[in-house]
Amino acid sequence: MKTLSPQKVALVTGGSRGIGAATCLQLAKAGYAVVINYTASQAASDKLCESITLASGTALGLQADVADETQVLAMFAAIDAKFGRLDALVNNAGVVDITARLDEMSVARLKRMFDINVIGSLICAREAVKRMSTRYGNEGGAIVNLSSAAAKIGSPGQYLDYAASKGAIDTLTMGLAKEVAAEGIRVNGVRPGIIDTDIHASGGIPDRAAQMAPQVPMRRAGSADEVANAIVWLLSDAASYVTGTTIDVTGGR
């Protein structure tokens, strides 16, 4: 693995599995020191850290529920203590819930969805801006927010709450990009379509990616790596004039 000089530091929320884990591996290969955030999957985070370290990369696993401000602040304090800088944030941690119609959804479900997917991303972006912005004497940085094709489709009868939470993410991307564009920070988003990860099992349909594949114009689900490719490009200097945009990675859906 190559090392950037000075070594840049990237935080990937929900980095232990799926799209987040693929992103951590690609960022480590690109030379970043990678902070792998997770809530429950310590074993997966440890394994990922080990494989990055064995390949001469730098990785640190940090447990924190992104919906809990105290835990998020402790995570950023740990990054400050270990690295003293933050150059990239991937707001990737996100959840779905069991397939339902809106008239069947409890307020507890709606609050959990928005606390993790929206408030979590807002708090992490807030803390990242404090560590990246030239306004605070920093060198700038880049943020990528994980949206979803659901934000455009609306996911009726399935995950309307999830789709609405990702609509909020699209607005966060557009607004924050303008807010901090003159402070050295680029903010972009990626809108994945049907990607083959464990998220579908947590929504009660483990084989959803295979089930939905025939409806995708490219006739297949995407891989976590195909989404990570777009995330890593948006974080890189190759995207130096790109901000406030969200890229569809959907196989044409």
- In the bound complex, what is the minimum distance in angstroms from residue 191's beta carbon to ligand NAP? 7
Distance (Å, rounded) from C-alpha 123 to C-alpha 11? 13
Active-site pick, 32, 38, 159, 162: 162
The site string for ligand NAP over 76-115 (x = CB under 6 A, - otherwise) reads: ----------------xxxx--------------------
- In the bound complex, what is the minimum distance in angstroms from residue 208's beta carbon to ligand NAP? 8
Counting residues that bind ligand NAP (by CB under 6 A) gives 31
Write the secondary structure of the chain as one string of H (helix), E (strand) and C (coil).
CCCCCCCCEEEECCCCCHHHHHHHHHHHHCCCEEEEEECCCHHHHHHHHHHHHHCCCEEEEEECCCCCHHHHHHHHHHHHHHHCCCCEEEECCCCCCCCCCHHHCCHHHHHHHHHHHHHHHHHHHHHHHHHHCHHHCCCCEEEEEECCCHHHHCCCCCCHHHHHHHHHHHHHHHHHHHHHHHHCEEEEEEEECCECCCHHHHCCCCCHHHHHHHHCCCCCCECHHHHHHHHHHHHCHHHCCCCCCEEEECCCC
In the residue annotation, 241 being an active-site residue is answered as no
Rule CB under 6 A: choose which of 27, 66, 79, 176 binds ligand NAP. 66
- In the bound complex, what is the minimum distance in angstroms from residue 147's beta carbon to ligand NAP? 7
Rule CB under 6 A: choose which of 40, 74, 102, 218 binds ligand NAP. 40
Evaluate whether 131 touches 35 at the Cβ level (below 8 Å).
no
* Residue 146 contacts ligand NAP per CB under 6 A: yes
The site string for ligand NAP over 193-232 (x = CB under 6 A, - otherwise) reads: -xx-xxx--x------------------------------
Rule CB under 6 A: choose which of 8, 9, 17, 187 binds ligand NAP. 17
| Strands 88-91, 141-146: pairing kind | parallel
CB nearer ligand NAP, residue 58 or residue 165: 165
- In the bound complex, what is the minimum distance in angstroms from residue 57's beta carbon to ligand NAP? 18
* Residue 19 contacts ligand NAP per CB under 6 A: yes
What is the set of active-site residues?
162
Q: Which residues bind ligand NAP (CB under 6 A)?
A: 13-14, 16-20, 37-41, 44, 65-67, 92-95, 116, 120, 146, 148, 192, 194-195, 197-199, 202
